[in-house]
């Protein structure tokens, strides 16, 4: 499909000077945007325009721009990572928007993810959960040793599906309860399914859930909104596994 | 087991187990209620009601059931308040309809509506049966040589006399069905009983169960509304 030009788009963007400022929406116009432009490139064009007008550019997170780093975020027109399924914002292209459209762009909203500036939120809460137990501390040896442990293909595949989590926070952003269960479930699952990770499975589940609760994330009500917005299509079946792992661990206490 | 009940997963387990307990009660309740439409003389239903009123096991289960309701409601309130707090400022634009079903996003509201219905329902029947001196006393009836309260006349009297009550009970059944359409499968998910295969099965059973319970309870006022029970 040949790219066309969107003559004019209206952007309603959340602007906030810093973490302490109140913030509010500001409206901008961008013109002559090719439909082949990525959403972040469109924001780059807006920023160039703002800089040339001596105005403060819009701050937003971005890094790899190929959907694997989990840095980009944005709640676009009421959906995490925009209207496309299974993609991050950097993989979203302007062909998804119509000529003359008004696009509302907001930061992730969660008490555990405070806004630092404009569209950037502090996602350190995820790091803290990870530090609480999202690792394997047993000595698993080098690569040849690792390969000597037989792992069933379906288990390896399932663990890999969970490990696909890039920690972008779309699950928290989209969940009506701001629950981080899908993230924690993915991190717990990727290890719990493998022999090297099973050894510390109980401690891991307890520590990560305790940290998640402490940081003020909400409680999961199984709506499934997280899995439909997850750019890596991580299933809430992993949440069932986390529940199992946690209950099992607590029963042994 | 330290801190289990105060953890997010622990609280969901409490919701799940209390919910499953209430689901069992609903099954017994529906089975008994359906006797209303299988025998217009009311003997079957009166026998059932008399059995429930006099069975010692039911006497023990009754306060446990009340406790089940209270736990389910209190925990729901605690969870909802915490969940509201977890997002201090909301989105200007949020389109969640494609991401999750309406009942799953509105379980607390549905539960609240069911609670209001439950209050009216208890006032209509339970109050009169338990405290006849305060409400309308039940007339006595003798069936097969056993003297018992004529519960059938009380229940059927309400449905025969008021279209509004019939509609209210139909509405109550619909809301209950919607609550169960998410609650049933969610209860299993919360205790970790779900995976790729079982999720599909549980979701299917949940919808089926919701329809059976919703339609089952609704069919009784409908039966009297259309005049079949006269």
Q: Do residues A98 and A133 both lie within one domain?
A: no
Q: Do residues A146 and A60 both lie within one domain?
A: no
- Checking ipTM against 0.95, whether it exceeds it is no
Determine, for residues B8 and A179 on separate chains, whether the beta-carbon distance falls below 8 Å: yes
Q: Do residues A66 and A156 both lie within one domain?
A: no
Pairing of strands A115-117, A120-121: antiparallel
pLDDT at A1: 66
Task: Evaluate if residue B136 carries a pLDDT over 90.
Answer: no
> Contact A202/A188 with Cβ under 8 angstroms?
no
- Find chain A residues with C-beta within 8 A of B81's C-beta: none
Compare CB distances from B93 to A78, A181, A240 and report the shortest one's residue: A78
The secondary structure of B10-52 as a DSSP string is HHHHHHHHHHHHHHHHHHHHHHHHTHHHH-TTSHHHHHHHHHH
Domain harbouring A158, CATH code: 1.10.1060.10
Cα separation, B35 vs B31, whole angstroms = 7
Predicted confidence (pLDDT) per residue in B163-186, tens digit: 999 999 999 999 999 999 999 999
| Tokens at B189, concatenated | 């998910």
Element (H, E) at B141: strand B140-143
Q: Do residues A215 and A135 both lie within one domain?
A: yes
pLDDT at A145: 78
Compare CB distances from A177 to B4, B86, B182 and report the shortest one's residue: B86
The nearest CA of chain A is from the CA of B217 a distance in Å of: 26
| Tokens at B72, concatenated | 């389910």
Q: Do residues A20 and A138 both lie within one domain?
A: no
**What's the domain count of chain A?**
2
- Find chain B residues with C-beta within 8 A of A170's C-beta: none
pLDDT at A143: 79
Task: Evaluate if residue B140 carries a pLDDT over 70.
Answer: yes
Compare CB distances from A111 to B13, B87, B186 and report the shortest one's residue: B87
Q: Do residues A59 and A155 both lie within one domain?
A: no
A16 touches chain B (CB under 8 A): no
The nearest CA of chain A is from the CA of B101 a distance in Å of: 7
> Contact A80/A178 with Cβ under 8 angstroms?
no
Determine, for residues B96 and A253 on separate chains, whether the beta-carbon distance falls below 8 Å: no
> Contact A175/A223 with Cβ under 8 angstroms?
yes
Half-sphere exposure of A151 (CA within 13 A, CB side): 22
Q: Where are the domains of chain B?
A: 8-83+104-225
Q: Do residues A101 and A182 both lie within one domain?
A: no
The secondary structure of chain A as a DSSP string is ----EEEEEEEEEEE-SSTTS--EEEEEEEEEEETTSBHHHHHHHHHHHHHHTT-PPPP---SSSSSSS-----EETTEET-SSSS--GGG-BGGGS-TT-EEEEE---BTTB-EEETTEE--HHHHHHHHHH-S--S---SHHHHHTS---HHHHHHHHHHHT-----HHHHHSTT---HHHHHHHHHHHHTSHHHHTTHHHHHHHHHHHHHHTT--------HHHHH-TT---THHHHHHHHHHHHHHHH-
Domain harbouring A20, CATH code: 3.10.20.30
Predicted confidence (pLDDT) per residue in B187-209, tens digit: 999 999 999 999 999 999 999 99
Cα separation, A117 vs A123, whole angstroms = 13
A95 touches chain B (CB under 8 A): no
**Last residue of a domain, which of A76, A92, A117?**
A117
> Which residues of chain A, if any, have pLDDT below 50?
none
B38 alpha-carbon distance from chain centroid: 21
pLDDT at A224: 97
Contacts with B, A 47-66, CB within 8 Å: none
Q: Do residues A109 and A133 both lie within one domain?
A: no
Q: What's the DSSP call for residue B148? A: E
Q: Do residues A106 and A133 both lie within one domain?
A: no
> Contact A47/A58 with Cβ under 8 angstroms?
yes
Q: How many CB pairs under 8 A join A and B?
A: 146
Cα separation, B84 vs B101, whole angstroms = 19
Top residue of A112, A217, A222, A234 to mutate, by most chain B CBs within 10 Å, is A222
Predicted confidence (pLDDT) per residue in A55-77, tens digit: 999 999 999 999 999 999 999 99
With a pLDDT cut of 70, the percent of chain B lying above it is 99
**Last residue of a domain, which of A117, A133, A159?**
A117
**Last residue of a domain, which of A96, A117, A138?**
A117
Q: Which structural domain, as residue segments, surrounds residue A177?
A: 124-252
A211 touches chain B (CB under 8 A): no
Predicted confidence (pLDDT) per residue in B47-74, tens digit: 999 999 899 999 999 999 999 999 999 9
A222 touches chain B (CB under 8 A): yes
| Tokens at B183, concatenated | 């609650």
Q: Do residues A172 and A104 both lie within one domain?
A: no
Q: Do residues A133 and A83 both lie within one domain?
A: no
Top residue of B2, B91, B199 to mutate, by most chain A CBs within 10 Å, is B91
Domain B8-83+104-225 belongs to what architecture? Up-down Bundle (1.20)
Predicted confidence (pLDDT) per residue in B14-42, tens digit: 999 999 999 999 999 999 999 999 999 99
């Amino acid at each position: 499909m040949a790219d066309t030009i969107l003559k004019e788009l209206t952007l309603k963007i959340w602007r906030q000077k810093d973490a302490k400022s109140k913030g509010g929406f500001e409206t901008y116009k961008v013109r002559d945007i090719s439909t082949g432009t990525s959403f972040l490139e469109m924001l780059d064009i807006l920023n160039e325009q703002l800089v040339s007008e001596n105005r403060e550019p819009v701050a937003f997170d971005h890094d790899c721009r190929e959907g694997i780093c989990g840095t980009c975020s944005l709640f676009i027109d009421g959906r995490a990572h925009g209207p496309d399924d299974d993609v991050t914002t950097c993989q979203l292209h302007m062909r998804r928007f119509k000529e003359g459209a008004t696009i509302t762009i907001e930061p992730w909203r969660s008490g555990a993810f405070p806004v630092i500036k404009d569209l950037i939120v502090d996602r350190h809460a995820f790091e803290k959960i990870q530090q609480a137990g999202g690792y394997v501390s047993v000595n698993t040896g080098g690569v040849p040793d690792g390969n000597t442990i037989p792992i069933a293909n379906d288990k390896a595949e399932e663990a890999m599906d969970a490990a696909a989590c890039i920690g972008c926070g779309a699950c928290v952003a989209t969940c009506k309860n701001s629950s981080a269960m899908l993230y924690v479930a993915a991190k717990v699952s990727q290890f719990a399914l493998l022999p090297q990770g099973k050894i510390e499975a109980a401690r891991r589940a307890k520590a990560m859930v305790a940290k998640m609760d402490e940081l003020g994330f909400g409680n999961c009500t199984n709506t499934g909104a997280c899995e439909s917005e997850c750019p890596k299509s991580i299933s809430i079946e992993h949440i069932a596994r986390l529940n199992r792992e946690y209950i099992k661990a607590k029963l042994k206490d | 087991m330290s801190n289990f009940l105060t953890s997010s997963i622990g609280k969901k387990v409490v919701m799940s187990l209390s919910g499953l307990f209430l689901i069992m009660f609903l099954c017994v309740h529906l089975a008994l209620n359906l006797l209303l439409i299988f025998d217009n003389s009311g003997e079957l239903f009166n026998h059932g009601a008399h059995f429930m009123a006099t069975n010692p096991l039911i006497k023990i289960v009754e306060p446990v059931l009340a406790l089940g309701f209270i736990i389910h409601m209190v925990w729901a309130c605690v969870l909802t308040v915490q969940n509201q707090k977890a997002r201090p400022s909301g989105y200007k634009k949020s389109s969640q309809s494609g991401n999750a079903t309406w009942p799953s996003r509105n379980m607390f509201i549905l539960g609240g509506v069911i609670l209001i219905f439950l209050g009216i329902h208890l006032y209509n029947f339970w109050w009169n049966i338990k405290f006849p001196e305060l409400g309308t006393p039940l007339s006595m009836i003798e069936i097969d040589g056993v003297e018992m309260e004529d519960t059938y006349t009380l229940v059927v009297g309400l449905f025969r006399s008021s279209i509004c009550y019939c509609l209210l009970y139909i509405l109550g059944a619909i809301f209950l069905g919607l609550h169960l359409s998410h609650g049933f499968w969610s209860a299993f998910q919360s205790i970790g009983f779900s995976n790729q295969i079982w999720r599909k099965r549980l979701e299917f059973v949940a919808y089926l169960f919701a329809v059976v319970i919703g339609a089952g309870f609704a069919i009784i006022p409908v039966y009297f509304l259309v005049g079949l029970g006269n």
